[in-house]
Amino acid sequence: MTAGADKPKPVEKAEAWLDDKTMPEGNRPKGLEDTEGAPSVDELRREQRREIENVTFGTEGQTRGAFFGALAFAAVGLIIGVLVGLVLFDGDSPGRFVVPVVVTLFAGVMGFVYWGGRTPELENETMSASGEPGSSSTPRDPRTDDRGR
């Protein structure tokens, strides 16, 4: 059985689109796309310097994933919260305003955590210089595809 045999077509299309947008050139670890074969010590040092130049609270992928994940999930949470608040509560009830706020905050935190952790995996930031998952990342299940699905 293949990894994508039981997935609906829209999911497969979405995964293919995501792969196209996030796959580094040559499927190399981020920062080492321009090296050939095994990287030298100087190339590894250059990669480390490049990584620490723009560090905010994590790697570039963590920062971007957490920021955009929080915004996207919060927007969806706001829409759902407003709909739930309008349907379940009367016009004078504070629940009409509290529910959207709580749902939006909760969804924003979910997006921050999920995409802050998932984006570095998609961009190969968790790979070692040899192209294997780094010692700090969980080993991938051999039954999944090369992106860990």
Distance linking the first and last C-alpha atoms of the chain:
14
* For residue 53, pLDDT beyond 50: yes
pLDDT band at 26 (very low <50, low <70, confident <90, very high): low
The confidence score (pLDDT) of residue 66 equals 93
Domain boundaries, the chain: 60-128
Q: What is the mean pLDDT of residues 105-120?
A: 92
The overall average pLDDT reported for the chain is 77
CA nearest neighbour of 136 among 69, 58, 68: 58
**Which ranges in 1-149 belong to alpha helices (H)?**
9-22, 41-53, 60-88, 95-122
pTM of the model: 0.62
Asked whether the CA dihedral 12, 16, 18, 24 is positive or negative, the reply is positive
* For residue 28, pLDDT beyond 70: no
Q: Which has more confidence, 7 or 123?
A: 123
**What is the distance between the alpha carbons of residues 62 and 142, in angstroms, rounded to a whole number?**
25
pLDDT band at 114 (very low <50, low <70, confident <90, very high): very high
If one counts every other C-beta atom within 10 angstroms of the C-beta of residue 89, the result is: 15
